[in-house]
Chain A
Amino acid sequence: MSQLEYIIQQIINAVSLGSLYALVAVGLSIVFGVLKLTNFAHGDVMMVGAFTTVLLIGIGMPFAPAMLCGILASAVAGFLIERIAYRPIRNAPDVTRLLTSLAVTYILENLGILLFTSSPRNFPLPDILNTSWQLSGGAITFTNINVLTVALTFVSLIGLGWFITRTTIGLGMRAAAEDMQAAQLVGLNVNKVIIIAFIVASAYAGLAGVLWAAQAGVVQPQMGFTPLLKAFVAAIIGGFGSISGALLGGYMLGALEIFIVAFMPDVVVPYRDAIVFALLIAFLLFRPGGLMQPNREIKL
């Protein structure tokens, strides 16, 4: 296997992993943008989508409609979380809001454990998505689920870009993210803007959850934790609250992790996560606004 093929393979891996990070980070950023809230429950909204999909496939539904229902279930979960948990404390101090979002996380995870136990379940991926492609006599391989992940990420993010920049609701969301008071003064119903932001972000969480679980091959109630942490790092690197920043951060983080695993000496590889989180700390210390908003301060 030539060096070039190895590099191409790693680029494919990086784009595939980065797509997942980007999808999760974008959802986090949408909520942070309008609400200035770090929504820890975002990972659990992913779990809701993944579990719904697995259960529906289990009762015989084909993959595509099951995934759509999973996304829908996540959107509904996001709607309920905003309505029940976050709206009553919207104007509370940051610490209250942060703790509430942690509480929602624990409630959802424990609900998942009660319903499904904490042991992992198999993700019944249809054969067609498991089919792998071999190029250059097997030196470069990828499966259809990789292709699907990247394709859906691209399509959905282009859709999001269109929604944010070309629709009236998107305009309202950008205005509210910029200045909530001024947004009210131009007559925007803040409740409506926030609930739509939650629904959109949660639908992205659902999509990300299904794809994440499909790639991992398993679902379990705590599956949202790792992607949430990684997406958080990605969002900070890019510039928290900025959607393009989340996208950039997601792909950069994917590339970095793959780079560490593929090109660093074996002794470094086990420290992959340590390196990633060291990077997070570095950004928080020296460039808290991330790559996209160099002058901005963030608070959690």
Chain B
Amino acid sequence: MAFRDGKSDEQVLLKTTGLTKAFRGLVALRDQAITLRAREIVGVIGPNGSGKSTFFNLITGFSQPNSGQIEFKGRSIVGMRTSRIVALGIARTFQGSRLFGTLTVRENVLSAAQLRQPIGPIASVVRGPLYQRNVAAAEAIATELLDLMGLTDQSDRLAADLPYGDQRRLEIARALATKPELLLLDEPAAGLDSNETKVLAGLIRTIRDRYGVAVVVVEHDMDLIMGLCERIQVLATGEVICVGTPEEVRNHPRVREAYLGHS
């Protein structure tokens, strides 16, 4: 399944400018700006409370910025409701697991696959040929993604019963089922051991190569970020302190000071 042809690699996918969010006077994110091109893998790092999750919440419409712009594929998505933003092509996973625990593994992916294979309330009871086609397409997406994530054997288990590592991968599968162009991963390696983290990095690269999605990874795990990302943005107390390649970021004095402890 190809989500789109890959010729527009250089096109700007996401562009934020002057993004600022304060909660009751406490600034969570100040004047953040990032430009993201198709098929890029970008990392956002920073200590706790540096504004990483706020950044994701703003992009996905869970909270509204006090000021600043968010453009996705050239159009402003500020103020848009979450389900529309997702329909435009942005998907995300959460810090910790936010699966539908009482649904099966397969149903979790299907719930997302139906976005691109819409089935109305009447069609879902009457069941004409279009319904059959859409259901088959959604099932095919689920089958492919569960296979990719190595979850095929677990298809009929309840999501809540999966081991933690499998839950994290299921969450990525569910996000991918909406056929995004931009995938936001919120601490995907949290709680994984170093081996699982390595597998995860490989999976993220495979996802990018196969589906042509751009990926933003918010992480604490420096190994994952440094090994995986082409560019990294470093946040500290809500402000961008540097942007660059892993090498540049590693050697940046303010990063060493603010994030890695000291030089």
Chain A interface residues toward B at CB < 8 A: 163, 167-172, 174-175, 178-179, 181-190, 196
Task: Tell me whether B102 is interfacial, beta carbon within 8 Å.
Answer: yes
Known pairs A169-B119, A186-B86, A187-B112 / 13 extra A-B pairs, C-beta < 8 Å: A168-B119, A168-B138, A169-B121, A174-B102, A175-B108, A175-B111, A178-B101, A182-B100, A184-B83, A184-B86, A187-B87, A188-B115, A196-B121
Partner of A179, one of B98, B115, B138: B98
Task: Tell me whether B94 is interfacial, beta carbon within 8 Å.
Answer: yes
Could you write out 14 A-B pairs with CB less than 8 Å apart? A169-B119, A169-B121, A169-B124, A174-B107, A175-B108, A181-B82, A182-B98, A182-B99, A186-B86, A186-B178, A187-B83, A187-B86, A187-B114, A189-B83
For the complex, give the distance between the alpha carbons of A189 and B114 in Å: 11
Residues 96-149 (chain B) with a chain A CB within 8 angstroms: 98-103, 107-108, 110-112, 114-115, 119, 121, 124-125, 135, 138
Could you give, for residues 22-54 of chain B, a 1 whenever the CB lies within 8 Å of some chain A CB and a 0 otherwise?
000000000000000000000000000000000
Shortest C-beta distance, A212 to chain B (Å), equals 27
Neighbouring A residues of B177 by C-beta, 8 Å: 186
Counting contact residues on chain B (CB < 8 A from A), the size range is 20 to 34
Residues B111 and A181 in contact, CB atoms below 8 Å apart: no
Task: Tell me whether B92 is interfacial, beta carbon within 8 Å.
Answer: yes
Task: Tell me whether B60 is interfacial, beta carbon within 8 Å.
Answer: yes
Neighbouring A residues of B86 by C-beta, 8 Å: 184-187
Neighbouring B residues of A170 by C-beta, 8 Å: 124
A-B contact count (CB 8 A): 77
Task: Tell me whether B164 is interfacial, beta carbon within 8 Å.
Answer: no
Shortest C-beta distance, A169 to chain B (Å), equals 5
For the complex, give the distance between the alpha carbons of A172 and B114 in Å: 9
Shortest C-beta distance, B239 to chain A (Å), equals 27
Task: Tell me whether B174 is interfacial, beta carbon within 8 Å.
Answer: yes
Shortest C-beta distance, A156 to chain B (Å), equals 14
Task: Tell me whether B240 is interfacial, beta carbon within 8 Å.
Answer: no
Neighbouring B residues of A163 by C-beta, 8 Å: 125
For the complex, give the distance between the alpha carbons of A174 and B103 in Å: 8
Residues B82 and A171 in contact, CB atoms below 8 Å apart: no
In this complex, the member of A168, A178, A179, A190 whose beta carbon has the largest number of chain B beta carbons within 10 angstroms is A168
